[in-house]
Amino acid sequence: MNKLPKIDQSWTLFLDRDGVINKRNFDGYILQWSDFQFTDGLLSAAQQLGAMFGNVVVVTNQQCVAKQLITEQDLVLLHQKMHNELAVNGLQIAAVKVATELKNEPPFRRKPNTQMALEVKEAFPDVAFQKSVMVGDTDSDIAFGKALGMFTVLVRSQEVTSEIPDLYIDRLADLPNLLL
């Protein structure tokens, strides 16, 4: 598939965080705001992305909390700063869902499990997964989207992946041009 269907305000954009919204630290975790760097071009494209979708949500695996590298409260503060900076640039985030447990540990909210998406659907009943786009940079992101019937977009990176998305992009800022 070269292009996604015509997107309008009835669609929801699901975004992974690390590697999609912010530059990913392949050697560790983003634990403080000073380490958080938006991906290239995102702030410039934020308004265009925000205008295309009815809801934009972040779904992110952050086992750094379970590893006690950052407190849940400090992670919330980091996400508030991310949210505020995106909002100033025209991209309103409706919700940030975070799986803080270790891999393969309860409560099993981590992607590719679909629990975070089901929580979004409960909070925003108008969300229809078949009218949603999942953008991520890992196999678990793409598997998450596919399990829910979403259109999937993989941001290319040094991450080795085997899942086949509907589209490949080099950065989230490129997405609006593909959706026009």
> Would 5 be classed as within a structural domain?
no
> Would 4 be classed as within a structural domain?
no
What is the dihedral sign for C-alpha 158, 160, 41, 99?
negative
Mode of pairing for the β-strands spanning 95-99 and 132-136: unpaired
User: In the chain, how many domains are there?
Assistant: 1
> Would 77 be classed as within a structural domain?
yes
> Would 3 be classed as within a structural domain?
no
Q: How far apart are CA 25 and CA 167, in angstroms?
A: 23
Q: Any idea what the CATH number is for the domain that residue 133 is in?
A: 3.40.50.1000
The catalytic site residues sit at 16, 18
> Would 23 be classed as within a structural domain?
yes
> Would 66 be classed as within a structural domain?
yes
> What is the per-residue pLDDT across 116-170, written as a single tens digit (0 to 9) for each?
999 999 999 999 999 999 999 999 999 999 999 999 999 999 999 999 999 999 9
